[in-house]
Structure 1
Amino acid sequence: MTTDSPAAVLWDMDGTIVDTEPYWMQAEEELVGSFGGSWTHEDGLQMVGNGLAVSAAILQDAGVALSTDEIIQRLTGRVQELLETDGVPWRPGARELLAELSERGVPTALVTMSMSSMAEQIVDLIGFPVFRLIVAGDHVENPKPHPEAYLLAASKLGVPIEHCVAFEDSVPGVAAAAASGAVTIAVPHIVELPEHPGYTLWPSLAGRTLSDIATVFVETSQNQEVVTP
């Protein structure tokens, strides 16, 4: 771990570490279809990065006559089935960067709006120990884009949030990470993210290292010091 490295790195899961969005979209399409409705790819895009309760409300509006908890359990269960049968689709460079952080002793946390059972399943399948803790959707009152999950992760790790770097891929996720005060790196996947002064945009994690993270952390921290009165 270098002197200029962040105190911790906080990771979103779906779309950032693993490409589970197609699994979620399949689960949504199947669920809506079971109630006689139709669900398109464009419909699925509006769900990316949302808290599961928010997604459940959208599905109820699409005709799914189930309670919020029932929808969450049905979706999560189906995605977990697909992970078991079809495997874990890792995002390019994610496992390699996680491995380096683990080897270098950089504290990390998983910050996801998925249920803790699914997050634990993904963590178990990584193949090496990396995350010191998981903050999942069923651990917080307020889903992303609210910063609660990131603030909770930093608090549990015992580090100031402004000394953390957060990785995200979605609009709600990037908004949550940036609002928390973490140095935010956006790695868009299914939904395009525009350039913005509130975060650093990387097209991919492929080939990225701790040195790259440290560079963003130092440059962003210095810029924040310049604009702070």
Structure 2
Amino acid sequence: MTESSSAARPVPTALLWDMDGTIVDTEPYWMRAQEELVSSFGGTWSHEAAMTLVGSGLDRTARILQEHGVEMESQPIIELLSTRVMEQISERMPWRPGALELLTEAHDAGIPMALVTMSIGRMAQHVADHIPFPAFSTVVSADVVTMSKPHPEAYLTAAERLGIDIARAVAIEDSPTGVASAVASGATVVGVEHLLTLAGTDAHVVWPTLAGRGLAEVSAVLEGVHA
């Protein structure tokens, strides 16, 4: 590709980021917090059970934990799990490969970004505060939407807050649930596989990692979708 054609490539109107498993590898932290809570009530929690919750909203997580013997209301479960994960993040920030680099490049290029997560707001802000610059123009978390992913509400809310055309935005997701949400919103979707396969999803491209992927590669995906 010539330098002039590369320069003409359209850039996204915004990058819309999932958080858990996409920017940070917090899934092991959630699993540990879930196991601790179930065990405290004398129950048994398995890795297989935890995997069924990857990408799910916290309301569903609370319901499943209640089914495994946690005798607490949903909101206290959500608050307790979130606090435990935040404590672990404070001990070690588990960046996913290439995520901070792409966040930095997009920020330096002036591309608006939103954090779109089914974690609660204080948890999302805790992660955002560990990024060494103000990465996100807005944070859409579980406590500001009515419908969790895979419903598109969270991504549509992010686009509305940013004032952008979501059809020209790129969402980055790691789970089938998240991919379904972003696709339904009309965004171009980059799937980055982590704990779950994205084969068979409607992601416009699936990458094994963000390492070595920059704005040029993200823009090429958008260009391909709208060619």
TM over 0.5: yes
Task: Give the Cα–Cα distance (whole angstroms) in 2 for the partners of residues 88 and 133 of structure 1.
Answer: 21
Q: For 1:165-213, what per-residue CA distance to the aligned partner results, in whole angstroms no more than 9, with x for missing partners?
A: 0000011101100111100010011111105454211110000010001
Size of the aligned set, in residue pairs, is 221
Please state if 1:117 is matched with 2:140.
no
Aligned to 1:188: 193
Task: Give the Cα–Cα distance (whole angstroms) in 2 for the partners of residues 108 and 76 of structure 1.
Answer: 23
Which amino acid in the other structure matches residue 61 of structure 1? E
Aligned to 1:227: none
Give the CA deviation at 1:136.
Answer: 0.5
Paired residues for 1:26-105 under 5 Å:
26-85=32-91, 87-105=92-110
Return the match for 1:131 from 115, 133, 136. Answer: 136
Fraction of identical pairs, as percent: 50
Which amino acid in the other structure matches residue 15 of structure 1? G
Q: For 1:122-152, what per-residue CA distance to the aligned partner results, in whole angstroms no more than 9, with x for missing partners?
A: 1111111211110001110100000000000
The verdict on how the C-alpha distance between 1:164 and 1:131 changes in structure 2, with shifts beyond 3 A counting, is same
Query: 1:110 touches 1:134 (CA, 8 Å); kept in 2?
Result: yes
Task: Give the Cα–Cα distance (whole angstroms) in 2 for the partners of residues 199 and 177 of structure 1.
Answer: 11
Query: 1:92 touches 1:205 (CA, 8 Å); kept in 2?
Result: yes
3-state SS in 1 of match to 2:61:
helix
3-state SS in 2 of match to 1:72:
helix
Aligned to 2:10: 4
Query: 2:180 touches 2:202 (CA, 8 Å); kept in 1?
Result: no
3-state SS in 2 of match to 1:19:
coil
Which amino acid in the other structure matches residue 156 of structure 2? L
Which amino acid in the other structure matches residue 82 of structure 1? Q
CA RMSD of aligned residues (A): 1.2
Give the CA deviation at 1:83.
Answer: 1.2
The verdict on how the C-alpha distance between 1:179 and 1:93 changes in structure 2, with shifts beyond 3 A counting, is same
- Gaps spanning 5+ residues in structure 1: where? 223-229
Give the CA deviation at 1:2.
Answer: 6.2
Give the CA deviation at 1:60.
Answer: 0.8
Task: Give the Cα–Cα distance (whole angstroms) in 1 for the partners of residues 114 and 94 of structure 2.
Answer: 20
Query: 1:195 touches 1:201 (CA, 8 Å); kept in 2?
Result: no
Query: 1:112 touches 1:136 (CA, 8 Å); kept in 2?
Result: yes
- Gaps spanning 5+ residues in structure 2: where? 1-6
Please state if 1:221 is matched with 2:226.
yes
Query: 1:150 touches 1:176 (CA, 8 Å); kept in 2?
Result: yes
Task: Give the Cα–Cα distance (whole angstroms) in 2 for the partners of residues 197 and 22 of structure 1.
Answer: 26
Please state if 1:13 is matched with 2:19.
yes
Which amino acid in the other structure matches residue 72 of structure 2? L
Query: 2:19 touches 2:117 (CA, 8 Å); kept in 1?
Result: yes
Runs of 4+ in 1 over 6 A off after TM superposition: none
Task: Give the Cα–Cα distance (whole angstroms) in 2 for the partners of residues 195 and 35 of structure 1.
Answer: 38
Provide the TM-score with structure 2 as the length reference.
0.95
Return the match for 1:173 from 172, 175, 178. Answer: 178
